[in-house]
Structure 1
Amino acid sequence: MKRLFVAMPYGIRRAPLDYEEPDKTSVIDFDAVWEGILQPAVPAAFETKRADELRQPGLIDRMYNEWLFDADIVLADLTFGNANVYYELGIRQALSRKGTVLVACKGTKLPFDVRNQYVIHYDYFAAPTLRGFQQELYQAIGNASIQEIDSPVHVFLPGLVVRRYQGEKPPEARIEELTRRIQELEAALRDQRSQDEEERLLQKLREATTAPRVLSLHQLISARDIKSVRLLEQLAISLRDASYFDEALQTLDRALKIDPNDPELLREVGFVYRKKGQPYYSQAESYMERALQLNDHDSELHGMLGGLFRRRGEYERALTQYKRAHEIQPDDLYPLVTVAAMCGALGKIGEATEWYQKLQATCEKFIGQQRADHWTYLCLGEATVALGDQEAASAAYRKAIEAKPPVEHIRSEVEQLEFLVEKSFATESARSVLPILREYLVAHQSQ
């Protein structure tokens, strides 16, 4: 007679079907599930044994493994994410090439590891639907009896051969081993659920397009025991972009308690303080300097620190940071344009001209390689302004505007040209092209 082993919970259990909604619990009598739903669908040719029937002192390890290894079919009920069931399923799929049938109550949220396997769903709370389920289960058991291979382990390792274990261990040692493995699997299941939750919240942050929505997600995440630095950092960036600076700092402080020496977190704290304004510039500098001590090869961070010094009027210090950023990323346009502007502001006319010539050559190289975007043309416009070619500058700025750039980028370029005028560098050329950019700002002032 063929043998069928049933891995499932037993007795009356209360738990959530969807682990992402822990407050919505269901009560299921699994003895009734077995006797009234599953067992009637098992073909008469099978001798069946439920896992709880093997719970006999001193025999649990041997009998479990014998049935999991030798049974023609293993029927596993994944409802409520029972750790024992998943453990037994893992043993079965490792030991045997075929003969595994998976079922679960309708509404069960399955971990991603088994979502690509065929699972038959029954509706414990809708009796009229059970006949159709039982017919499908009966057919699945029959198909599993003749299918060549259905274990994902043996699909991945088609040459794997499993033989019986020849040694013996004391029952106490085996029970201890199994208990430890169950605890490991439960911990892994919790970790997986945590990862799933993290990915879900990250996706929601990416989709959040309004400041109130970002704040709502902040309140949701703040109420949870989140251990993911990646999620907290992304939340802080979203809060910063929405001008919720204090909330962003609270979130970053939470992340730093998990990883106090993460240069990316320290950098972001510094940037948020810089965004808060002049009264917080000293804090911004302190955090950015700490981040650079941990990662001096962060070109963008050198640029951010240079921008902070520039806002404080410390142009020589800003120039040093911008030059370091250029050393790290020689083809990055931002360090080139900022080094050139700082040289101009400091009255280093010859040096500023050389840097603007280098900027122009790099922009033209990008254009020739068809790598140019609106930022390339904005930089080219500034370079040709500084070099006194008003016609070329006007053409470059119009080309940038054709690409419909973000308003913030145009506003930043207007501020850059106004800065050059303030420092009496390329004043006439800058004034001649400013109306082109300001016209764009007026047309898009609502943004």
Structure 2
Amino acid sequence: MGEGNGNATRRECFVIAPIGPDGSEIRRRSDQILNYLIRPVVEARGFVAVRGDEIERAGLITSQVLDRIIQNELVVADLTDQNANVFYELAVRHALRRPFVQLMAKDQQLPFDVQGMRTILVDHTDLDSVESAKQQLGRAIDGMSSETDIVTPMSVALTLQDLRGSSSPREAGLSQIIETLPQMMDILQDLHRHLGMGGATGGGSDDEDHRRVRSLLESLAARGGVTQDELSGLLGGGSSKFERWVEALIQRAGRNHHAG
């Protein structure tokens, strides 16, 4: 999607954003993000930026919004304040795997479901931050093309459904591994943070949560869903009992890897 010019065919970029009532702080911020960040960047690339409240055509507004989310070549979504409508509309775009860019207020935390997705953070009261966000948005748009492989939490879930329904044992096994990856990484981090700092120092000191976590990690290792390198990262700083348990898991993961 490179730079455009004044004679190029203008395309529409739909802006998903919290809008709020007239005169509210939400509306004021949304207008500033639209007018001083999004609009200059997309217009320089041949797009017209349109937000939901700017749709003029008569008819059902929800239908028109969804039509733009589905049909428009580009969507920019502002996730600030975790507005429910914004996330509903963004989920539709995620499922379609069509080009989009995510923005969010710099002082806010991304919700869990989209933490792994690149998001431009901006402080709309700081001109340097706005300029940086404009540059990031421009680079994101310029790097997009019709061949771009867009991966979202929604697309991963849909792919897993297809793999589960496959008659191929290899694809069915792949779906199990893919499905456990996010949970696996959370477990590794949790073990390193909690058990690795002395939570497993005695024979009866582990609580039920830690036992369940260790049981699940053992199951992942038995299925080849954890690599030796990932497990090795847990070593260091833990009790001798914990270190021995991790070393045993590493050996098990290695056997499963070579057997596969």
Could you say which residue in structure 2 is the equivalent of 1:4?
13
2 CA distance for matches of 1:111 and 1:55? 32
Cα deviation, 1:307-329, whole Å, max 9, x if unaligned, reads xxxxxxxxxxxxxxxxxxxxxxx
> Once the 2 structures are TM-superposed, how far is the Cα of residue 80 of structure 1 from its aligned partner?
0.8
1 CA distance for matches of 2:76 and 2:119? 11
Q: For 1:6, what is the secondary structure of its paired residue?
A: strand
Q: For 2:65, what is the secondary structure of its paired residue?
A: helix
2 CA distance for matches of 1:39 and 1:104? 16
Could you say which residue in structure 2 is the equivalent of 1:79?
80
How large is the RMSD of aligned CA atoms in angstroms? 3.8
Give the unaligned 5+ runs of structure 2. 1-9, 162-189, 200-207, 210-239, 242-260
1 CA distance for matches of 2:146 and 2:14? 17
Equivalent residue runs for 1:134-173 within 5 Å: 134-152=134-152, 153-155=154-156, 157=158
2 CA distance for matches of 1:135 and 1:77? 16
AA partner of residue 103 (structure 2): V
Q: Say if 2:64 is the partner of 1:103.
A: no
1 CA distance for matches of 2:131 and 2:147? 24
Cα deviation, 1:332-376, whole Å, max 9, x if unaligned, reads xxxxxxxxxxxxxxxxxxxxxxxxxxxxxxxxxxxxxxxxxxxxx
Determine if contact 1:73/1:145 at 8 Å carries over to the other structure: no
2 CA distance for matches of 1:101 and 1:73? 8
Higher relative contact order (CA 8 A, sep 6+): 2
2 CA distance for matches of 1:112 and 1:159? 19
> Once the 2 structures are TM-superposed, how far is the Cα of residue 40 of structure 1 from its aligned partner?
1.4
Q: For 1:35, what is the secondary structure of its paired residue?
A: helix
Structure of higher CA gyration radius: 1
> Once the 2 structures are TM-superposed, how far is the Cα of residue 148 of structure 1 from its aligned partner?
2.3
Cα deviation, 1:293-317, whole Å, max 9, x if unaligned, reads xxxxxxxxxxxxxxxxxxxxxxxxx
> Once the 2 structures are TM-superposed, how far is the Cα of residue 117 of structure 1 from its aligned partner?
0.8
Q: 1:43 to 1:158 in 2, by over 3 A?
A: farther
Q: For 1:4, what is the secondary structure of its paired residue?
A: strand
AA partner of residue 8 (structure 1): A
2 CA distance for matches of 1:151 and 1:6? 20
Could you say which residue in structure 2 is the equivalent of 1:41?
41
Determine if contact 2:97/2:150 at 8 Å carries over to the other structure: yes
Could you say which residue in structure 2 is the equivalent of 1:279?
none
Determine if contact 1:2/1:47 at 8 Å carries over to the other structure: yes
Give the unaligned 5+ runs of structure 1. 15-26, 161-199, 210-232, 235-403, 406-447
AA partner of residue 99 (structure 2): G
Determine if contact 1:73/1:144 at 8 Å carries over to the other structure: no
AA partner of residue 108 (structure 1): Q
| Number of residue pairs matched by the alignment | 162
Q: In percent, how many aligned pairs have the same letter?
A: 30
Determine if contact 2:42/2:48 at 8 Å carries over to the other structure: no
Runs of 4+ with deviation above 6 angstroms: 206-209
Q: 1:88 to 1:60 in 2, by over 3 A?
A: same
AA partner of residue 83 (structure 2): N
> Once the 2 structures are TM-superposed, how far is the Cα of residue 42 of structure 1 from its aligned partner?
1.2
1 CA distance for matches of 2:62 and 2:130? 34
AA partner of residue 65 (structure 2): Y
From the two aligned structures, give the one with the greater helix fraction.
1
Q: 1:73 to 1:131 in 2, by over 3 A?
A: same
AA partner of residue 55 (structure 2): L
Could you say which residue in structure 1 is the equivalent of 2:65?
64
Q: 1:146 to 1:34 in 2, by over 3 A?
A: same
Cα deviation, 1:75-112, whole Å, max 9, x if unaligned, reads 00011111111011011112x22211111111221111
Q: 1:101 to 1:13 in 2, by over 3 A?
A: same
AA partner of residue 118 (structure 2): Y
> Once the 2 structures are TM-superposed, how far is the Cα of residue 158 of structure 1 from its aligned partner?
5.7
2 CA distance for matches of 1:6 and 1:148? 20
